[in-house]
Structure 1
């Protein structure tokens, strides 16, 4: 229905604006520079590299791409897009869960940082999940998409350990090899991966059962073919 498409575009458009505003605020604060826990202000390049090393930032960037494209075309499809969309939804759910259960107690943002934190960790995760449940599009998840979606979190874990070994900086306390040792840090990362796999399985199952979709094909689906057949 056209009405459903309008609501879907509005929902995803609002999410895109929230995520974009949060990213702009956080990037501006990072470029401006603030002393770290040791009272030292790191060089601008170091601050920017560290900012984009956070899983939170990467998942929100993926979510911005997905929500912006869905605001333009709620029936969007395509092999690469399916992978990005699944990574965005999974990544942002994990971001919200890990922050709420592990990181929130040690975080005390203020000023503009409070607003970006609100967008990243409280609004974006659950707004994105609600949008996925309400509007889809579906079906967009199949076995091939699941396998390809694993590459980004695995690459992030490898990068995090490699970057930490070179700089002695880790984005999150539960990844800090210096304090925890490799055994505990790897165990923590493994636990996060298990959570991701469980949520991926849940989303896959829901994607196949919720109304408003079509069977997810295993072969690539040209975007142009889908765009000729708008969905509700």
Structure 2
């Protein structure tokens, strides 16, 4: 719908800027302050390990998807459909899990705190609100929802295999050493169900909400 074009491009650009800024600041904070990632002894290893976090990957997806939308707010392709749904649902899961489960044990300081607010609060809010108000609409169907579930499943598989190899896990709820495989399996199932449930929720809303129509 043409009437949404003047708002859509700057909004998508703003979301992309906050998402990518949060990732960049987290990388800089990790390079400057080794304390939160002291398990990894070199600066390069600590910075590289930042990208093992679901939060960072989801913010990257949001950044990439919204850069593409800022260039063309009505962009549509099979890859774009999966990318955008993974970005929006992934960042929603990030905000929900962090603020309901992880925030009570987190204690970021300095630049880590700024990155934390951007990645866990600002970007999730802006990305989800932007999708609800602007879309673009018509990009979600059952096949897209099912394909998009590959993202969290691949992350969980990578995290568990890597964790078993190096004895380190990015979040307490996937820490097999602390909780055992049975408890972690249940935790992973909850995250997977939340992700797929939000995907089908997006499917139910997609054609009922106003917004910018994809081509």
TM-score, with length taken from structure 1:
0.87
Residue 7 of structure 2 is matched in structure 1 by: 7
**Which ranges of structure 1 fall in alignment gaps of 5 or more residues?**
217-225, 227-232
Deviation at residue 147 of structure 1 after TM alignment:
1.9
Deviation at residue 48 of structure 1 after TM alignment:
2.6
Deviation string, structure 1 residues 48-81 (Cα, Å, up to 9, x no partner):
3321010000000000001111111110110011
Is the helix fraction higher in 1 or 2?
2
Cα RMSD after superposing both structures: 1.8
Residue 29 of structure 1 is matched in structure 2 by: 29
Deviation at residue 4 of structure 1 after TM alignment:
1.9
Deviation at residue 212 of structure 1 after TM alignment:
4.4
Which structure is larger by alpha-carbon Rg, 1 or 2? 1
TM-score, with length taken from structure 2:
0.94
**Which ranges of structure 2 fall in alignment gaps of 5 or more residues?**
none
Deviation at residue 15 of structure 1 after TM alignment:
1.1
Indicate the SS of the match to 2:52: coil
1:193 aligns with 2:192: yes
- Whole-angstrom distance in 2 between the partners of 1:83 and 1:183: 31
Deviation at residue 34 of structure 1 after TM alignment:
1.1
Deviation string, structure 1 residues 100-121 (Cα, Å, up to 9, x no partner):
0111011111211111111101
Residue 230 of structure 1 is matched in structure 2 by: none
Deviation string, structure 1 residues 156-194 (Cα, Å, up to 9, x no partner):
010010000000000000100000001001110101111
1:81 aligns with 2:106: no
Written as runs of structure 1 = structure 2, the 5 A alignment for 1:7-86 is 7-36=7-36, 42-86=41-85
Indicate the SS of the match to 2:67: helix
State the aligned residue count: 215
